[in-house]
């Protein structure tokens, strides 16, 4: 068998009249021999907040494939567990050396020899090895980084782009460029201003291509910088963790007015819609909401009830081009979110409500609690399970937003994931800062590569 392959390679080299037959034969042989995972090596790196995370280099006969795990501010009891060392003397307890060790020893030993194309078997091997429900033994940060690296290796083995491999894994043939939700204003836990809500995003649904959407996002961002400077001075342009501006405002309307003004200065008015991530769990006290929770002098004095919040959202959707609201209520306030979704005034996205957890998603679909999934891959922990929850959401006729975390890395995997799964929406932060642009710039490359085949979700951003 091997001698036959060598003979084929030599014959091919002769036919090609190559000036470097040795290199030609070695490349030919590398392609002819099916790859297996030969080595998995992890290290500790820092994410965009300067907090440790796991990076993995996974080797096959085709080369080395690198991936890393993101990390966020919100974490809950239903999501996969990030393994951190907890030694206060090391990165204030945040180092991930145990997760790194788990990759270098246990995971590496289990995966060496496996075919990188077989994503679900690779992911299952890690799940079996971990044995806990939340991946707390090996660490979801360890498992996810390996899972993504294996996915990249699988694409290389098939000699197809990553998004195409992901589409194959999910049984899809269509590949759609998503509408980006660019973070323009940051608040909540992501910024030091007094704004309670976490971010105000813009969605260029009226663009014809992703490239045009990125241009619209960037131009609006820079107009907003001018609008904020005029009103609050240059210090109002400091940015939050996702790259959105963080002027010292406290009201929904103040932020929305700034964004509306910036959009009108671009001239794209009808083409750009607005999304809000309220992240209401962060300022829910009992059953009431404290929109002033970040203002020491006002906090605790003016609570809003769930009903007040519903009224507020209805008004905002009427007064501004708001088309999507994420986590409008506390993550356990199923009744209110269900009632609000039923009004049909906008897309209602479940982030903290669902935590990308299949059981929570199933429950939310059955109860029509919301109508879109925010998918954070590190909350679920493997590529295979991410594909499964997207299928679940789509079968339930929901929208799907592939999402970054506030702690990001240069890894652009979620860009390919959003195209491969045709989610229609991606939220990857401001059109600024390297770790955010890694995703948007990758979408530019994918659009270029798809050429005539490239389709931008545009008005079909909800895709269901």
Positions touching ligand 2PG (CB under 6 A) are: 72-74, 198-199, 242, 277, 279, 351, 374, 403-406
Q: Does 241 bind Mg ion (CB under 5 A)?
A: no
Structure tokens at 90: 């090391």
Largest CA distance in the chain: 83
Nearest Cα to Cα of residue 53 among 22, 89, 82 = 82
Cross-strand bridge partners of residue 45: 53
Q: Which residue is nearest to ligand 2PG (CB)?
A: 72
Say if CB 40 and CB 103 are below 8 A apart: yes
Cross-strand bridge partners of residue 245: 185, 239
| Shortest spacing between CB 187 and Mg ion, in angstroms | 12
Say if CB 73 and CB 189 are below 8 A apart: yes
Tell me which of Mg ion, ligand 2PG, none is bound by residue 423, counting a contact when its beta carbon lies within the kind-specific cut-off of 5 to 8 angstroms: none
Tell me which of Mg ion, ligand 2PG, none is bound by residue 79, counting a contact when its beta carbon lies within the kind-specific cut-off of 5 to 8 angstroms: none
| Shortest spacing between CB 50 and ligand 2PG, in angstroms | 15
Alpha-carbon gap, residue 162 to 165, rounded angstroms: 5
Alpha-carbon gap, residue 182 to 405, rounded angstroms: 13
Cross-strand bridge partners of residue 424: 400
Tell me which of ligand 2PG, Mg ion, none is bound by residue 406, counting a contact when its beta carbon lies within the kind-specific cut-off of 5 to 8 angstroms: ligand 2PG
Nearest Cα to Cα of residue 282 among 348, 374, 191 = 191
Q: Which residue lies nearer to ligand 2PG by CB, 304 or 376?
A: 376
Nearest-5° Cα angle at 439, 457 to 223: 80
Which one of residues 351, 408, 411, 447 is an interface residue with Mg ion (CB under 5 A)?
Answer: 351
Nearest Cα to Cα of residue 5 among 28, 22, 35, 23 = 28
Nearest-5° Cα angle at 371, 369 to 374: 105
| Shortest spacing between CB 429 and ligand 2PG, in angstroms | 7
Tell me which of Mg ion, ligand 2PG, none is bound by residue 290, counting a contact when its beta carbon lies within the kind-specific cut-off of 5 to 8 angstroms: none
Tell me which of Mg ion, ligand 2PG, none is bound by residue 403, counting a contact when its beta carbon lies within the kind-specific cut-off of 5 to 8 angstroms: ligand 2PG
Q: Which residue lies nearer to Mg ion by CB, 149 or 185?
A: 185
Output phi, psi for 87, to 5 deg.
-85, 105
Say if CB 356 and CB 374 are below 8 A apart: yes
Q: Which residue lies nearer to Mg ion by CB, 82 or 130?
A: 82
Q: Which residue lies nearer to Mg ion by CB, 351 or 435?
A: 351
Cross-strand bridge partners of residue 183: 201
| Shortest spacing between CB 228 and ligand 2PG, in angstroms | 20
Cα distance between the two ends of the chain:
50
* 50-69 residues near Mg ion, rule: CB under 5 A: none
Tell me which of ligand 2PG, Mg ion, none is bound by residue 242, counting a contact when its beta carbon lies within the kind-specific cut-off of 5 to 8 angstroms: ligand 2PG
> Which residues have a catalytic role annotated?
242, 376
| Shortest spacing between CB 250 and ligand 2PG, in angstroms | 19
| Shortest spacing between CB 196 and ligand 2PG, in angstroms | 13
Q: Which residue lies nearer to Mg ion by CB, 333 or 351?
A: 351
Task: Provide CB contacts within 8 A for 439, sequence distance 6+.
Answer: 404, 412, 414, 415, 426, 428, 429
| Shortest spacing between CB 352 and ligand 2PG, in angstroms | 7
Q: Which residue is nearest to Mg ion (CB)?
A: 351
Task: Provide CB contacts within 8 A for 83, sequence distance 6+.
Answer: 96, 98, 99, 102, 136, 138, 139, 140, 141, 142
Q: Which three-class secondary structure state does DSSP give residue 249?
A: coil
* 260-299 residues near Mg ion, rule: CB under 5 A: 277
Q: Which residue lies nearer to Mg ion by CB, 126 or 325?
A: 325
Tell me which of ligand 2PG, Mg ion, none is bound by residue 408, counting a contact when its beta carbon lies within the kind-specific cut-off of 5 to 8 angstroms: none
Tell me which of ligand 2PG, Mg ion, none is bound by residue 73, counting a contact when its beta carbon lies within the kind-specific cut-off of 5 to 8 angstroms: ligand 2PG
| Shortest spacing between CB 142 and ligand 2PG, in angstroms | 19
The DSSP 8-state label assigned to residue 43 in this structure reads E
Alpha-carbon gap, residue 143 to 56, rounded angstroms: 10
Residue found under tokens 């241009």: 215
Strands 455-456 and 424-429: unpaired
Give contact residues for Mg ion (rule: CB under 5 A): 277, 351
């Amino acid at each position: 068998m091997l001698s036959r392959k060598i003979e084929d390679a030599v014959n091919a080299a002769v036919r090609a009249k190559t000036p470097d037959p040795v290199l030609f034969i070695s490349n030919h042989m590398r392609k002819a021999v099916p790859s297996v995972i030969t080595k998995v090596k992890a290290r500790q790196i820092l994410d965009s907040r300067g907090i440790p995370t796991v990076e993995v280099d996974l080797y096959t006969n085709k080369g080395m494939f690198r991936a890393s795990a993101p990390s966020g501010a919100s974490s809950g009891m239903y999501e996969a567990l990030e393994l951190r060392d907890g030694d206060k003397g090391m990165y204030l307890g945040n180092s991930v050396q145990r997760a790194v060790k788990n990759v270098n020893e246990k995971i590496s030993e289990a995966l060496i020899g496996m075919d990188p194309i077989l994503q679900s078997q690779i992911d299952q091997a890690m799940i079996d090895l971990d044995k806990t429900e939340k991946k707390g033994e090996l660490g979801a940060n360890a498992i996810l980084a390996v899972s993504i690296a294996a996915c990249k290796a699988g694409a290389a083995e098939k000699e197809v782009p990553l998004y195409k491999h992901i589409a194959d894994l999910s049984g899809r043939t269509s590949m759609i460029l998503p509408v980006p939700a660019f973070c323009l204003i940051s608040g909540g836990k992501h910024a030091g201003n007094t704004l309670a809500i976490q971010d105000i995003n813009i969605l260029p649904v009226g663009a014809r291509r992703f490239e045009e959407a990125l241009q619209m996002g960037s131009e609006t961002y820079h107009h907003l910088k001018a609008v904020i400077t005029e009103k609050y001075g240059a210090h109002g342009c400091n940015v939050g963790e996702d790259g959105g501006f963080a002027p010292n405002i406290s009201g929904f309307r103040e932020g929305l007015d700034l964004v509306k003004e910036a959009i009108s200065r671009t001239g794209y008015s009808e083409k750009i819609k607005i999304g809000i991530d309220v992240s209401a769990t962060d300022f829910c006290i009992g059953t009431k909401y404290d929109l002033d929770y970040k203002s020491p002098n006002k906090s605790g004095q003016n609570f809003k009830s769930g009903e007040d919040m519903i009224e507020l959202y209805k008004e905002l959707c009427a007064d501004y081009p708001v088309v999507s609201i994420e986590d409008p209520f506390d993550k356990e306030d199923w009744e209110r979110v269900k009632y609000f979704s039923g009004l049909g005034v906008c897309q209602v996205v479940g982030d903290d409500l669902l935590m990308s957890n299949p059981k929570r998603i199933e429950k939310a679909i059955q109860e029509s609690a919301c109508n879109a999934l925010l998918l954070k891959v590190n909350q679920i922990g493997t590529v295979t399970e991410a594909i499964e929850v997207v299928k679940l959401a789509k079968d339930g006729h929901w929208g799907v937003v592939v999402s970054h975390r506030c702690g990001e890395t240069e890894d652009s995997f979620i860009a390919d994931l959003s195209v491969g799964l045709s989610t229609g929406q991606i939220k990857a932060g401001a059109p600024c800062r390297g770790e955010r642009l890694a995703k948007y710039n990758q979408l530019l490359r994918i659009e270029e590569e798809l050429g005539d085949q490239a389709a931008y979700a545009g008005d079909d951003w909800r895709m269901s």
